[in-house]
Amino acid sequence: MGGNSFGTLFCVTTWGESHGEALGVVIDGCPPQMELSEEDIQKELDQRRPGQGKESSPRKERDRVQILSGVFGGKTTGTPISLLIRNEDVDSSPYEEWKEVFRPGQADFTYQAKYGIRDYRGGGRASARETVGRVAAGAVAKRILRKEKVEIIGYTVELGGIRAEKIDYSEIQRNVLRCPDRNAAIAMEKKIEEVKLQGDSLGGIVEVLVRGCPPGLGEPVFDKLEADLAKALMSIGAVRGVEVGAGFRVAHMLGSQCNDPIGPKGFEKNDAGGILGGISNGADIVLRVAVKPIPSISLEQRTVDLAMRPVSIKIKGRHDVSAIPRINFVCEAMVAIVLADHLLRQKALDSSSRQ
Amino acid sequence: MGGNSFGTLFCVTTWGESHGEALGVVIDGCPPQMELSEEDIQKELDQRRPGQGKESSPRKERDRVQILSGVFGGKTTGTPISLLIRNEDVDSSPYEEWKEVFRPGQADFTYQAKYGIRDYRGGGRASARETVGRVAAGAVAKRILRKEKVEIIGYTVELGGIRAEKIDYSEIQRNVLRCPDRNAAIAMEKKIEEVKLQGDSLGGIVEVLVRGCPPGLGEPVFDKLEADLAKALMSIGAVRGVEVGAGFRVAHMLGSQCNDPIGPKGFEKNDAGGILGGISNGADIVLRVAVKPIPSISLEQRTVDLAMRPVSIKIKGRHDVSAIPRINFVCEAMVAIVLADHLLRQKALDSSSRQ
Amino acid sequence: MGGNSFGTLFCVTTWGESHGEALGVVIDGCPPQMELSEEDIQKELDQRRPGQGKESSPRKERDRVQILSGVFGGKTTGTPISLLIRNEDVDSSPYEEWKEVFRPGQADFTYQAKYGIRDYRGGGRASARETVGRVAAGAVAKRILRKEKVEIIGYTVELGGIRAEKIDYSEIQRNVLRCPDRNAAIAMEKKIEEVKLQGDSLGGIVEVLVRGCPPGLGEPVFDKLEADLAKALMSIGAVRGVEVGAGFRVAHMLGSQCNDPIGPKGFEKNDAGGILGGISNGADIVLRVAVKPIPSISLEQRTVDLAMRPVSIKIKGRHDVSAIPRINFVCEAMVAIVLADHLLRQKALDSSSRQ
Amino acid sequence: MGGNSFGTLFCVTTWGESHGEALGVVIDGCPPQMELSEEDIQKELDQRRPGQGKESSPRKERDRVQILSGVFGGKTTGTPISLLIRNEDVDSSPYEEWKEVFRPGQADFTYQAKYGIRDYRGGGRASARETVGRVAAGAVAKRILRKEKVEIIGYTVELGGIRAEKIDYSEIQRNVLRCPDRNAAIAMEKKIEEVKLQGDSLGGIVEVLVRGCPPGLGEPVFDKLEADLAKALMSIGAVRGVEVGAGFRVAHMLGSQCNDPIGPKGFEKNDAGGILGGISNGADIVLRVAVKPIPSISLEQRTVDLAMRPVSIKIKGRHDVSAIPRINFVCEAMVAIVLADHLLRQKALDSSSRQ
C-alpha cells in the first residue's frame, strides 16, 4: 500500500501527477440514494483554483470534474464514485531544468531517495495540484455531513506574521484571503505584494471550525478523532504543525484553567476544541495548522544536483507567494473526509447497539 | 474496527482497561529471527512506571510483562507477539463516586455519549494506563530500529511555563524530568511542588529526536511520515498539538528562511525536521508535542451528572501533577512504532524495485 | 501485517502457539451494551474440545477462557475484548524428534522456508490448536447474530467416503460426528475405528447452513459475501475446497436449471445458496468445505530433514483420525465472524442512507 | 469501505458500471522503475474481449486502456497507476425493460435490497464488464511476477458436462475455448452451438496453474495463500466453488494417500497443489473454480417485479452461452494480483529478517 488511500468506511483513493494526463479520486463507501451532481463538486474545485487572487499562480487550469461512475439518475448508488480532472494548459518545458537538480524545500531529493526515479514535471505527485482529488472527495463528504447539519469552515488567522485580531465570520467570504479580520486582511495583502517583489514567499496559520458535529464521533485509542484529523491535515504538503482547541497554549496552562466546566447546557468554555478522550463532545471543533512558505522562490538558492555537486539556482516563473488562501479549501476537504468517515463508523456502532 | 490497531506492516493492537484483569498488546508483523526477551521490554516499562519522581502518582504497579507467544528460544518467529501485563494493586472503590458524574477534562462524558455504557473504574480504557501496551510494543519496535542504528529520544523542553533554554543531551538522563537544561529542570521541579500544594496540575512540551533515520521512509500522499507521526502522537491522551521541524514558527518565516539549502554533505540546516514531501531526508527528525495538564485536580470544579444536573466536585487522592515526564516514553514508543512500520514498508519497496 | 487479523468492522486478531504459554484473541469492534459472559464463550470451546468422541485426540485441554477486557458488569463496553486460554497439560518432548525433520502434509517445510525459524513444538502456530481463538471469537459473533435471529449450524455430510443420504437436522446433535443421517453416522464411526487400527486418517465434507440471514449483506465486488466466506473457510488449516449453493454441480447445469425462479414469497429454489451477486438474498446460505485427512499418521512416510537428506518417519502418539467433527465448530465460528462483520457494515450503510 | 479494493501491499481499487462513462482501476503499491506500457495491458484486455469466439457476445467494445498516472518515461514511478477504459458502443435502451423486474440468477434483487437504488443498465456494477479493471490490474501484477519467473495459465477443464481427459498445455492456445484436450474442445464447441439454439447457457470448470512460484509466499493464519486465492476467485461473479490441489477429492482420501512425500529434490507428488499450511512450497500451484451458466437466457423464466408481483420474462438479445473462456483471463488476473501482493509481503519480511 503506497499510502494513497484514506478512511475506513468512507475511503478515498487519489491518483495523478501535476503534468500527467489527469488527476482523480475514487470514493468507496459513499452512502446510496444521495443527490450528487458534477456542479456540487465543481463549486468546491472552483474555490481552490489558482489565478483568482493577486497572491495566486497564473496557470489557468479549468479543472472540469467528471463523474465517471457511482451516480445514476442524479443519485449515488453505493458503488465507487470515480472523479476525473483532466490536466490542461500544461507546459512541462520549464521543468526540464530541474531534471537533475534538487530544489530546496521540495520533495525532489526525497522522491529520488525513495524511488530512484521521479516525474520532475511540475513536481509530479508531490505538487500541490495533487490536492484537487482531495477537494473533489471533500465535496462529496460535505454533502454527507450537510444532511446531519455539520458545517466546516476554514479561514486565515495569520499570514506573513500578521495576525487576525478578531474572528468575524461574515468577513471571511468578503476578502480573497479568507481572513476573518478586515484590517488584518488588508495588511496581509500589502505584505504579499511586498514579498512578491522580493521574489520570496510567506507562511501562515489556517484555522478550521466545525459546527454542529454530534457527540460520539471518534474511536478511543489510535483512531481518536483529533489523531485522524491531525494525520489528515499533516498529510497536506505545506503543513508543519497541527493543534486542537487550546493547542500549544496548554503547555503553560494549569489544570484548573484548561479543564472545561460542564453545565446543564453543555460545556461552558471550549479549550478542548470539541474533542475529549478522542471523541467529539458536541461543542465546536477547532483546529489550527501551520502552513510553511511556498518553497518555489525566485531568489538565489544553494543546492546540489543528482551527483551531489553544488549548484546555485533561481526558480523562474510566477508562483504563488503563499499556499494561503487556497490551502483553506484543502484543509476543509480533509476535515470533511475524516468527519464523514467517523460519522459512518458511529452510525454502524449506534445501530448495532440499539436494541 | 474500533480503532485499537495501528500500523500497516508492523501492526500493533492494544487492549485493556485501567482496573480490568490485565492490559496487553498483540504485535503482528514483527520480523523473525530477532532476539527478544521479557527484559528488553521490561526495561522500557520500568521507565514509564509511576511512583518514581516526586511528580508521579504513588500507585505501585509492578507492571511485569509476560511474552505469551511469537518468541521461541529467545528469538522472534514471525508469528504474532502477545504481551500481557496483569493489573495489580487495584482499588476501584474511590471511583464509585464518579459512576454518575462526568469529571471535567476527562473522557467520561464522551464515552457515555458514544457507547451508552462506561467502565468508570480508574478511567477505564481512557486511562493513561492504556499506554502500557504502547510502550511494550514500542520496545519491540525499538529493537527493529536498533539493527538499523536508528535512535529515538524524548525529552522535556517546557513544563509549567518554564522553558529549557539549551539542549544538553547528556543532561536528559541526569534529572527525573528528562529536561536537557539543568537549570530549567530545577525550576520545573520547584514549580511542580508549588502547584501540587495548590491541588492543581501543569502542562508542557515534549520534544522527540530521531537520529540515524535513513532517507526514503514515508509514503508521499496520505501516509506521509509526518502525517503518521502526527496521528501516532496525537493519539496519546494528553497531547493537543504536534509539530515537525520549525513547526508553527514557519507561519512567520519567509521561504528564503524556511527552505534548507542542500550541500554536498546533505542538508545545511534542518528547519524541515528531517522530512520533505512526506519522506525522511536523512537528517534528524525533530517533533514537538503539546501536553495538557492532568485533568484530575483536587480543586473544586463545576460539572454535571448523568442526568445533566449541576454538581460540584473535588477529586481526592494523589495524582500526578503532570503527564510529563512519563509521557516522554509513550511519545518515544509511538514514534518507534511508526518508524518500524515505515522501515518495513520501505524495505518491501526497495527489494521489489531492485533488479 | 502478518495476516493474523480478520474483518473490517468486527475485527478479530488471534495469537498463540500450540505449546506456548497461552493462546488468545482480541476482538475490536464488538457493539457495546451486549450481555457477554465467560460461560457464553466456554460453551462453544467445550464443543470443539478434543477427547470427547472416539475419533478425537486424548489430550486433556481444559481450555478455560478468561475475559480480560472489554466487558464491564456483564456487558460489552465497545472497547476491545481480550480472551485468553492458557495452555495446560503440555508435553513438548515428543516433538524434539521433529526439530530437524519436515513431516509430510504439515507446515514444517513451508514455515522453515518462510521464516528461517520455527517453533516445532506441537506444530507451533500451524497447529489446529490455533483455532481455539477463532471459536472464542465466533462465540461473540454468534451473540451479535442471535439478536438478529441468524442461526448457523455446521454438520458432517461426508466422512471417509461415506455420504449422508439425507439431512435430518434433529439428528445432528444426537451423534458425536454431527452427521444428519443416522445410518451414515454409524457407518462413519465404523470406518473411523477401522482406519485408526491401520494408523491412517480420513477426510470428509462439512456443510454449513445459515438460517435467518437478512437480505443485503455482502459488498458487490471484492468483498462479496461468498468471497469473504470462502477466505474465512479456506483459512482453516485442513480445508482444501469451498463451494456455495450448487457449488461444483453448476459445471454441468444449464442456465435454465441453475437460475432460481423468484415468486411473490421469495426464491422458489436455492441453487444460489442464498447469495446472488455477492449479496445475501434472504434464503438459507449453504456452504460446503472439503476437509483433508489429518496428516499425522503412524504409518511410515518418506521425507527429508533440514539438510534435505531423505529420512523415513513414523509419527507416534495418538492423533485424531479426522478433523471432523471438531472442525464443524471452527467452520461455524468463521462463518459467524464473517456474517457479524457484514451485518455491521450493512447497518452502517443502511443507517447512513436513511433520510 | 464498499469492498472495491483488494490487496495489502499491491492494492487494487476498481470502479465503473457496465453502461457508465468508463471503467477503471487504481493500483497503489506497484514497485517503481518497472517498464510498463499501454500495450502491455492492452494485450491482456484484448484476450478477454467479447466477440471473438462463436460462444461470445457480439458487443464490439474496443476497450482501449489509457494509463493516466504513475508511469513516466515508460517506467513506473511508485505512485498510483490509474487505468481508464471508456465505454463505447453502449445502447442502454434494451435494459429499460428490466428497470422494475428482477432477472433470475442476476444481482437485480440483491442490489435493490442492499442499496434501495440500482443502475439497471447492462447490469450496472454487477456486470461481468466490471472485470475489465481486474484484467488491467492483473496485467501489471503479471509484469511484477514475470521478473521472478512466475507464470500463470488458466484453461478450461470442463464445459457443459464435457471434461478434458488430458492436459496438453500446447493445445490451450490453439483452440478458442482454451481447452487443453483437443477432442474435448471440439465436443464443447458443438455443445455450445446446440445450447445456443435452445436459448440456454452452460457452466464449466476452469483450472489455473502457477509455475515457478517461490516457496514462502502466504501468511500462516487468516491470510493463507489459498485463503486469499479463494477470496480472489470467489469474488468473480460466476464462480460458485474453489478448490486447491486435490480439492474436494480429499474427502475420500486416506492420510497416507493425501500427504505428499518429500524427497531430496522436493515434493514427490502434488496433491497439496503447491501450498502447505497456507504457504507456497515451491511446487506448482493448482486451483480449480466452478463457473455457473450465464444467467441471461432467452427461455421463459418466472420472476417478480419491484412490487413482488409475478411476471414471466424472456431475455432478448444475443448473450454469451458461457462465461468460459473469457473468465479464464479474469481468473489469471485475480491469481496474479494475489501472488504479486504476497510476493511483496514476503520481500518485506525477507529483507527485514536478513542480518
Closest residue to C221, CB basis, from D3, D160, D240: D3
Give the contacts of B40 (CB within 8 A, at least 6 positions apart): B139, B140, B143
Average pLDDT over residues C178-199: 97
- Predicted confidence at residue C8, as pLDDT, reads 95
Q: Is the pLDDT of residue C206 over 70?
A: yes
**How many beta-carbon contacts under 8 Å exist across B and D?**
52
Nearest CA distance, C247 vs chain D (angstrom) = 5
Closest residue to A78, CB basis, from D2, D70, D77: D2
Residue D5, strand partner residues: D13
Nearest to B18 by CA among B110, B104, B130: B130
pLDDT digit string, tens, across residues C134-153: 999 999 999 999 999 999 99
Quote the CA–CA distance of B82 and B68 in Å, as a whole number: 5
Instruction: List, as one string, the DSSP characters of B201-234.
Output: -B-EEEEEEEESPPTT-S-SSTT-HHHHHHHHHH
Average pLDDT over residues A103-121: 96
- Predicted confidence at residue A60, as pLDDT, reads 53
- Predicted confidence at residue D319, as pLDDT, reads 85
Quote the CA–CA distance of D271 and C287 in Å, as a whole number: 23
pLDDT band of D355, cuts 50, 70, 90: low
CB–CB of B160/B182 below 8 Å?
no
Q: Which residue has the cell 505545506?
A: A238
Q: Comparing B323 with B60, which gets the higher pLDDT?
A: B323
- Interfacial A residues in 171-200 facing B (CB < 8 Å): 195, 200
pLDDT band of B317, cuts 50, 70, 90: confident
pLDDT digit string, tens, across residues A29-86: 999 999 999 999 999 999 876 544 544 555 555 789 999 999 999 999 999 999 999 9
Contact A28 D68 (CB under 8 A): no
SS3 A162: strand
Contact A77 D119 (CB under 8 A): yes
- Predicted confidence at residue B96, as pLDDT, reads 87
A74 part of contact set with chain D, CB < 8 Å: no
Residue A290, strand partner residues: A205, A241
Which residues of chain A make contact with D3, given a CB cutoff of 8 A? 28
pLDDT band of C55, cuts 50, 70, 90: very low
Nearest to A49 by CA among A320, A336, A338, A293: A320
Q: What is the mean pLDDT of chain D?
A: 94
Closest residue to A344, CB basis, from C8, C220, C352: C352
pLDDT digit string, tens, across residues C216-241: 999 999 999 999 999 999 999 999 99
Give the contacts of B319 (CB within 8 A, at least 6 positions apart): B57, B201, B294, B296, B297, B298
Which residues of chain A make contact with C343, given a CB cutoff of 8 A? 352
- Predicted confidence at residue D90, as pLDDT, reads 83
Phi then psi for residue B27, to 5 deg, are -110, 115
- B interface mutation test: which of A114, A289, A297 has the most B CBs within 10 A? A114
Nearest CA distance, A147 vs chain C (angstrom) = 8
Average pLDDT over residues D26-40: 97
Q: Is the pLDDT of residue C23 over 90?
A: yes
Among A234-243, C95-104, C283-292, the minimum mean pLDDT is found in: C95-104
- D interface mutation test: which of C221, C305, C330 has the most D CBs within 10 A? C221
Quote the CA–CA distance of D347 and B312 in Å, as a whole number: 60
pLDDT above 90 covers what percent of chain B?
88
Across B213-232, b (16+ Cβ under 10 Å) vs e yields bebbbbbbbbbbbbbbbbbb
- Predicted confidence at residue D196, as pLDDT, reads 96
pLDDT above 90 covers what percent of chain C?
88
Closest residue to D28, CB basis, from A4, A82, A118: A4
Nearest CA distance, C8 vs chain A (angstrom) = 8
Give the contacts of A217 (CB within 8 A, at least 6 positions apart): A225, A279, A280, A339, A342, A343, A345, A346
3-state secondary structure labels for all residues of chain D: CCCCEECCCCEEEEEECCCCCEEEEEEECCCCCCECCHHHHHHHHHHHCCCCCCCCCCCCCCCCEEECCCEECCEECCCCEEEEEECCCCCCHHHHHHCCECCCCCCHHHHHHHHCCCCCHHHHHHCHHHHHHHHHHHHHHHHHHHHCCCEEEEEEEEECCEECCCCCHHHHCCCCCCCCCHHHHHHHHHHHHHHHHHCCCECEEEEEEEECCCCCCCCCCCCCHHHHHHHHHHCCCCEEEEEECCHHHHHHCEHHHHCCCEECCEECCCCCCCEECCEECCCCEEEEEEECCCCCCCCCEEEEECCCCEEEECCCCCCCCCCCCHHHHHHHHHHHHHHHHHHHHHHHHHHHHCC
D92 part of contact set with chain A, CB < 8 Å: no
A305 part of contact set with chain B, CB < 8 Å: no
Q: Is the pLDDT of residue B51 over 90?
A: no
D105 to chain C: nearest residue by CA?
Answer: C259
- Chain centroid to Cα A106, Å, comes to 18
D169 part of contact set with chain C, CB < 8 Å: no
Q: What is the mean pLDDT of chain A?
A: 94
Q: Is the pLDDT of residue A286 over 70?
A: yes
pLDDT digit string, tens, across residues D156-189: 999 999 999 999 999 999 999 999 999 999 999 9
C140 part of contact set with chain A, CB < 8 Å: no
Average pLDDT over residues D188-197: 97
Q: Comparing D318 with D155, which gets the higher pLDDT?
A: D155
Average pLDDT over residues A98-127: 95
What does the radius of gyration of chain C's CA atoms come to, in whole angstroms?
21
- Chain centroid to Cα D322, Å, comes to 14
Instruction: Identify the helix (H) or strand (E) that includes residue C313.
Output: strand C310-313
The pTM (predicted TM-score) of the whole model is 0.97
Longest dimension (CA), chain D: 69
ipTM: 0.96
Quote the CA–CA distance of C151 and C278 in Å, as a whole number: 20
- Predicted confidence at residue B62, as pLDDT, reads 74
Residue B291, strand partner residues: B204, B239
- Predicted confidence at residue C52, as pLDDT, reads 46
Residues in chain C, overall count = 355
Average pLDDT over residues B180-187: 98
pLDDT band of C319, cuts 50, 70, 90: confident
Which residues of chain A make contact with C9, given a CB cutoff of 8 A? 9, 345, 348
Instruction: Identify the helix (H) or strand (E) that includes residue A14.
Output: strand A11-16
C78 part of contact set with chain A, CB < 8 Å: yes
Q: Is the pLDDT of residue C87 over 60?
A: yes
Instruction: Identify the helix (H) or strand (E) that includes residue A67.
Output: strand A65-67
C22 to chain B: nearest residue by CA?
Answer: B68
B226 to chain A: nearest residue by CA?
Answer: A234
Average pLDDT over residues B285-309: 97
Which residues of chain A make contact with B232, given a CB cutoff of 8 A? 222, 227
Q: Is the pLDDT of residue D66 over 70?
A: yes
CB–CB of A216/A276 below 8 Å?
no
pLDDT band of A103, cuts 50, 70, 90: very high
- Predicted confidence at residue B355, as pLDDT, reads 52
Residue C253, Ramachandran bin (φ over 0: left; ψ between -120 and 50: alpha; else beta): beta
Cell numbers describing residue C187: 457407518
Quote the CA–CA distance of D328 and A296 in Å, as a whole number: 51
CA distances from C147 to A192, B65, C192, C212 (A): 63, 38, 38, 11
Q: Is the pLDDT of residue A355 over 60?
A: no
C347 part of contact set with chain A, CB < 8 Å: yes
**How many beta-carbon contacts under 8 Å exist across A and C?**
51
Average pLDDT over residues A166-179: 96
Q: Is the pLDDT of residue C316 over 90?
A: no
Average pLDDT over residues B299-319: 93
SS3 C160: coil
Which residues of chain D make contact with C110, given a CB cutoff of 8 A? 215-216, 218, 275-281
pLDDT band of A19, cuts 50, 70, 90: very high
pLDDT digit string, tens, across residues A310-324: 999 999 887 899 999
pLDDT band of D52, cuts 50, 70, 90: very low
pLDDT band of C57, cuts 50, 70, 90: low
